[in-house]
Structure 1
């Protein structure tokens, strides 16, 4: 009896979830069916892969080694399938990852362009933190991902899409109080307790803290909000200040029109948003096509953000 790809998938699910029941649920099979496949795999290899405890399972030393091999096999299998599927432009099925501070704005802008390019494109989008997306990309679960550059990950090809500048957002009262001295505040001059941040793990929060030369532990008010929309509503209501990226301005100002903004003095804090793929996925026209469409959509969002900011900026902070 030889080891099957199904067994490798099941073993990886067990390694990820640490429980047979959760692994079975993740791969959409019954618990007994998964257990049988794992035992058949152990019999075929002649080794014990799992140490079965009352409430969980752990990998044996042999299990860890086989899991490493399984990950490489599944990654190569994914590359093989993609190579056969998308060798000449956008077609077939495409798995795209995107960070949460970009996805709600870029996806609606990019979808019409993608559909116009290929109506039959089966696009699957995963929204997750940078760390999760890069892991999925490396493991072959994603074809490409939109993240802030540089990714800091080896073995990836990065192509910049657009620059996304940060503005300071708050209520009229708070923004006007900051501008009372007749100058636009520098990021490093902000009082830490005034800042509202996204959940830990969101790169936008880390970028905002870096701009202020702060550590997350320095902030006394940290609600751990999971979206920019939540932050927009809070700061518009007078509860603190936050950094608002340009691509989000048109949508968030529409939802919270009472929110006010001001631009920072040059050089403005900003992030570079780019599209990344594995270096091994070469010679595939789909990546260049996808990059061009996302770049067009992203630059359009930035232009919309600049226009929206002009009506909401206070204290002469309207420069584009």
Structure 2
């Protein structure tokens, strides 16, 4: 019978494959650099191949090393799932959970959500990672994250998803803008305005354009920002108007009196927050339980999700 690699050796391999640096990989594995280096050498000897090309400047995977690192990552995910299955059979929603969230959702829901979950699930230990949707999906697929809170419409690929709440897309404009006198803003109104939008790579951009049926934003887009906060400040400086999720309104408008909000007409477009996880996970039932708690928190405590949100009250600060 072949002598199999240990899980620790596979963990060392995956860490070094990701970091391409012995010191950082050792730090990620909470071991000394010599321990990690020795583990990699033992693994190479056990397999009878060279996994990494080493030089003074860089550490690079060999072609076969890349394939083995990919398989090792899948084995580690399966091992963690096995342990999680046993643990959660005894006590669901306890222990560590690696939770990913997008930047246009995290700042507005995490404070209340983490407090809510901390009370409801005192034995659950959340490790939160904030990143764009594409990054989160890659980390979910590789097993680095367990579950995501993201928004659609957006291509999520091979995941199981559970809808959490709807979040309307609204228009933010300077207080002295001519459209301030409109109760609603139409798509034709938008077509005549200078748009400030979040940069490519953020799902909110595609969601806003799709919801508002803007096919060619370039012809009236004058600025791209990396955050909603920057967009709001640009609007406050009277450089244009922007589209933003209603959940962010209270937080982002708190520091300025020169921005007002109007809904879009006629169909009040929105994005939908969803909880997503790998369809192969053994924790599907557990994650649906978590989803019910998150939905309860989002719909019960965030007035930004209410479809009849009082826009005039918001803008009459």
Q: Which moved more, 1:295-304 or 1:195-204?
A: 295-304
Residue 122, structure 1, aligned to residue 119, structure 2: no
Partner Cα distance (1:301, 1:228) in 2:
22
* Contact 2:153/2:207, CA 8 A, preserved across alignment: no
Q: Give 2:103's match in structure 1, choosing from 52, 76, 100.
A: 100
List alignment gaps of at least 5 residues for structure 2. Answer: none
**1:283–1:220: structure 2 CA closer, same or farther, 3 Å change rule?**
closer
Partner Cα distance (2:20, 2:269) in 1:
42
* Contact 1:133/1:145, CA 8 A, preserved across alignment: yes
SS at match of 1:145: strand
**1:179–1:129: structure 2 CA closer, same or farther, 3 Å change rule?**
same
Residue correspondence of structure 1 range 67-86 to structure 2 within 5 A:
67-86=69-88
Residue 11, structure 1, aligned to residue 30, structure 2: no
List alignment gaps of at least 5 residues for structure 1. Answer: 315-320
**1:86–1:199: structure 2 CA closer, same or farther, 3 Å change rule?**
farther
Deviations 1:69-113 (CA, angstroms, capped at 9, x unpaired): 111101112211221233354322222211111111111222332
Deviations 1:13-47 (CA, angstroms, capped at 9, x unpaired): 22223333443344344444332222221111000
Report the CA distance between 1:219 and its aligned residue. Answer: 6.1
SS at match of 1:275: strand
How well do the aligned residues superpose, as a CA RMSD in angstroms?
2.8
1:221 aligned residue: 222
* Contact 2:169/2:269, CA 8 A, preserved across alignment: yes
* Contact 2:160/2:279, CA 8 A, preserved across alignment: yes
1:34 aligned residue: 36
Report the CA distance between 1:150 and its aligned residue. Answer: 5.3
1:167 aligned residue: 170
Report the CA distance between 1:192 and its aligned residue. Answer: 8.6
* Contact 2:20/2:58, CA 8 A, preserved across alignment: yes
Q: Which moved more, 1:29-38 or 1:9-18?
A: 29-38
Partner Cα distance (2:222, 2:45) in 1:
55
Residue 244, structure 1, aligned to residue 225, structure 2: no
**1:247–1:221: structure 2 CA closer, same or farther, 3 Å change rule?**
same
**1:38–1:219: structure 2 CA closer, same or farther, 3 Å change rule?**
farther
Partner Cα distance (1:260, 1:32) in 2:
59
Q: Which moved more, 1:183-192 or 1:71-80?
A: 183-192
Partner Cα distance (1:43, 1:209) in 2:
54
2:266 aligned residue: 266
Partner Cα distance (1:27, 1:170) in 2:
49
* Contact 1:192/1:218, CA 8 A, preserved across alignment: no
Partner Cα distance (1:40, 1:219) in 2:
60
Partner Cα distance (1:53, 1:255) in 2:
52
Q: Which moved more, 1:58-67 or 1:29-38?
A: 29-38
Q: TM-score, structure 1 length as denominator?
A: 0.84
